[in-house]
Amino acid sequence: MNITSTIIDSLDFIFFGFAIAAVTSYIILAIISAFETVNYMKKNSFVNYTEILSSSISPSISIIAPAYNESLNIVENVRSLLSNHYVNYDVIIINDGSKDDSLEKLIAAYDLVKVDYLINNQLPTKPLRQGVFKSTNPAFEKLIVVDKENGGKADALNFGLNISTNKYVACIDVDCLLLEDSLQKMIKPFLESTDEKVIAAGGVIRIANSCKIKDGKLLDINLPKSSIVKAQILEYLRAFLLGRMAWSKLNGLLVISGAFGLFDKKIALEVGGYDTKTVGEDMEIIVRMRRYMEEKKAKYRVAYIPDPLCWTEAPDSYKIFISQRNRWTRGTIETLKKHKKIGFNPEYKALGMVSYPYWFLFERVAPIMEILGLIYFLILIFNGFVVWIYAISFLVLAYLFNVLFSIITIITEELTYHQYSKKGMGWQLIKTAFTEPILNHPVVLYAAIKGNFDYYFNKKIKWGEMTRKGMSSN
């Protein structure tokens, strides 16, 4: 009996200790975010982007967008990418061995012809299939279409890094809607910094489901009916407004969303481009670039632009949602494992002592702790050890904390970008804040556990498929 209670006591201590650490870190991050947000809004309230936008001496940027079987929307998506207001940029579409008629559609829509194109094969990639295409119509001179053998997203991005002749590259998902002023806002931190090198900048991802999109323009922002998508909207808001803002202030960003990130091409090439062996290539390259800069003892930062510049479609079925999160989990595990040298290593300063441990504990280990906690709880129930009032009051506390955190996020959004301005939207978001911990969180937890399981026991798992419904249908 004595031994059992000692075990129970120490397990209690571990689980509650973990929970308290998580809550504390969230509160600290939220406070830092609040200060940084106020600061950012003040500094940017009077920045004039129109001057840099028209300047032909502004640095050149390549948008690199890999596409795999995107035939449904590819023509429309490319049009949206071509309508950016930045002057000095090109758009490189990498058709990564699509089995559908993506290429034929592009050729027909943009009057493409095959050309001989100089490519510096610095990074090893899968070879070209049909070749490189450019438009005969001067209105589309910014467009370069590459048709290559299938090699996965990282391989396609590496091809883009090889073919681009520009100083900066924006790596994006082809179905992302980039707002017209997105490139000049993203390039700003690179040009503004004088005492440290900006190696990459990440943007905010917003969810475009049910939004009205026409000719590559976001016309009308709506909230979708599907509760799973609404839960994701809130999740994204929380992650970007309260999480990444703080990490950017601490210069500890470990991940830039694969949907929209801008990189200094030279450094991306020096570290060897994207890793084709991981499913988390977007996180992995940032960690590797940071590690490279730390090892060179150079002053650097990974910037973050909180303006909602990139809108994308989120999965609206549980099956696809789970497979997406499963992939994210595996990506995180692979990246942290590959770079375990930096973890808790004082040589890597904040990267090793703060960012890595945070990701390790609260992204990598958290779902496992949660599931173990649940199992432990069930065992206690089974053995009649549960003190119910004790358990319930903790559960209520955790739930309320979650809800409060979401509501603070919604308030932050109202005070900054105020995108969900229509009548009734506020109420919808609040309702989601209350239901999300009960309805959505268990699914996220399940996906994370499945990701862990697949990583360790199911190595041959294939890429999760993302079926697109077409953003423009409204």
Partner 1 sequence: MNLTKKIVLAEDNSILSKLLQFKLEKEGYQLLIANNGKEAVDLIEDNDPDMILTDIMMPFISGLEVISHVRNKLDRNTPIVVFSSAGQEEMVLNAFNLGATDFMSKPFSPNELIIRIKRLLQ
Partner 2 sequence: MLEFFQNSIDSLSSMHIIIKICIYLSLVLASTIFLSLIYLKNLRDRLKIKRRIEATYQKKYESDLIEYLYAGDDETENEQQQKIVIYLKKCAANRLKRKIIIGTFLKLKNDVSGETADAIQKLYYQTGLIESATSKLKSKKWDVVAKAIRELTQFEIKETHDEIIKLVNHPKKQVRFEIQKYLVQLFRFEGLEFLNIIENELSEWDQIQLLEILNKFKNLQLPDMSDWLRSKNDSVVSFTLKLVRIHNQFGVKDEIIALFNHSNPEIRVEAINLVNHLGIYEAVAILKTGVFERTLEEQIAFFKMMEEMSMPDDIEFIKEHMNHKNFYIRISVMKIMNLITVGDDNTFTINNIAEEYQINTNLTKAS
Contact residues toward partner 2 (CB under 8 A) are 42-43, 45-46, 48, 50-52, 54-55, 57-59, 114-122, 128, 131-132, 134, 141, 165, 188, 190-195, 387-390, 393-394, 396-397, 400-401, 403-404, 407-408, 410-411, 414-415, 418, 421, 423, 426, 430
Measured from the CB atom, is 297 or 459 closer to partner 2? 297
- Which of partner 1, partner 2, none lies near 139, with the C-beta cut-off 5 to 8 A by kind? partner 1
Give the one entry of partner 2, partner 1, none that residue 404 binds, where binding means its C-beta sits below a cut-off of 5 to 8 angstroms depending on kind. Answer: partner 2
# of chain residues touching partner 1 (CB under 8 A)? 14
Say how far apart CA 155 and CA 66 lie, in whole Å: 9
Candidates 80, 41, 28; CA nearest to 252 is: 28
Which H or E element spans position 133? strand 128-135
Binding of partner 1 at residue 474 (CB under 8 A)? no
User: Between 54 and 421, whose beta carbon lies closer to partner 1?
Assistant: 54
- Applying CB under 8 A, which of residues 141, 192, 196, 465 lies at the interface with partner 1? 141
Token pair belonging to 108: 């027909």
**Shortest approach of partner 1 to residue 422 CB, angstroms?**
21
Q: Is-contact 359 335, C-beta < 8 A?
A: no
Does residue 87 belong to the site contacting partner 1 (CB under 8 A)? Answer: yes
Long-range contacts for 418-425 (Cβ within 8 Å, ≥24 apart)? Answer: 419/206, 419/221, 419/308, 420/221, 420/223, 421/221, 422/221, 422/222, 425/223
Q: Name the packing angle between helices 388-416 and 2-44 (round to 10°).
A: 10
Q: Which of 125, 133, 126 is nearest to 102 (CA)?
A: 133
Q: Contact between 127 and partner 1 (CB under 8 A)?
A: no
- Provide, rounded to whole angstroms, the least separation between the CB of residue 145 and partner 2: 11
Q: Which residue has the tokens 């890597």?
A: 348
d(CA 306, CA 122) in angstroms, rounded, equals: 33
Our finding on whether 220 is near partner 1 (CB under 8 A) is: no
Q: Which does 138 bind (CB under 5 to 8 A by kind): partner 2, partner 1, none?
A: partner 1
List the interface residues with partner 1, window 37-66 (CB under 8 A): 54-56
Nearest by Cα to 439 from 275, 267, 245, 234: 234
- In the complex with partner 2, the residue whose CB is nearer, 21 or 191, is 191
Task: Give the interface with partner 1 as residue ranges (CB under 8 A).
Answer: 54-56, 83, 85, 87, 137-139, 141, 180, 214-215, 217
